[in-house]
Amino acid sequence: MAIRALVFDFDGVVIDTETPDFATWQEVFDDHGVGLDHELWSGFIGGGPGEFNVYDHLEELVGRALDRDVIRADRRRRYLDAVASSPVLPGVEALVLDARARSLRLAVASSSGREWVEGHLEMRGLLSYFEAIRTRDDVATVKPDPELFASALDALGVEPADAIAIEDSANGVTAATVAGMFCVVVPNAMTEAMPLDHADLRLRSLAGVSLDYLIEAATAHTGPGGQRC
């Protein structure tokens, strides 16, 4: 068994899109005199669109129909402004550059759309480092289904046992481990309370974490024949 690839989730791992997403929706709910429950919201992080209809939930709490187009446009503007100013999360770029220097393969597996993922990677000068990007536009089922990771690995020509997944959510960890990968979880403020014990390694941050450390952890976690323990 030899680690040949790193596969990153995008939202919450490469940049923090999740905190401003919740925060701007929380502002909308506050404006209407109701609250948005953090635990309810966080349960859907890392999955695909349509699992939780925030407009239905808001109208249910308020007790009346609302002008969704107005809410959507205003909230989206504030959210995009916040995400545009979000930096690459600590440690990510160093891992990417080290992996490329050692000829490891790099991919992204995200439940978000391709335009979203590629646009933000391009904006931050990271897009060219990734050989494969798989998003909800490429698969029938997003996380927690393993299809995104399986598709990314297939594009790289790498077996699951030879790759490390980097995730931040319970749905993402489930997808990676079911795909047969060693999974590192780096939770953020939105996901740290999730049940993440099914990850192989939990870190507070990628800052200061070396590629050697991740490879050694993944290698130590395998049994005879390269099988995950």
> Does residue 138 contact residue 165 with C-beta atoms inside 8 Å?
no
* Tokens matching residue 51: 């699992």
In the chain, what's the furthest Cα-to-Cα distance?
A: 60
CA distances in angstroms from 59 to 22, 32, 52, 65, listed in the order given = 17, 10, 13, 6
Residue of 11, 21, 145, 200 marked catalytic: 11
Q: Where are the alpha helices (DSSP H) in 85-169?
A: 92-101, 114-123, 147-156
| Distance separating alpha carbons of residues 42 and 71, to the nearest angstrom | 21
Task: Reply yes or no on whether 9 is catalytic.
Answer: yes
| Distance separating alpha carbons of residues 164 and 14, to the nearest angstrom | 15
Residue of 9, 21, 162, 168 marked catalytic: 9
Task: Reply yes or no on whether 145 is catalytic.
Answer: no
Residues annotated as catalytic are 9, 11
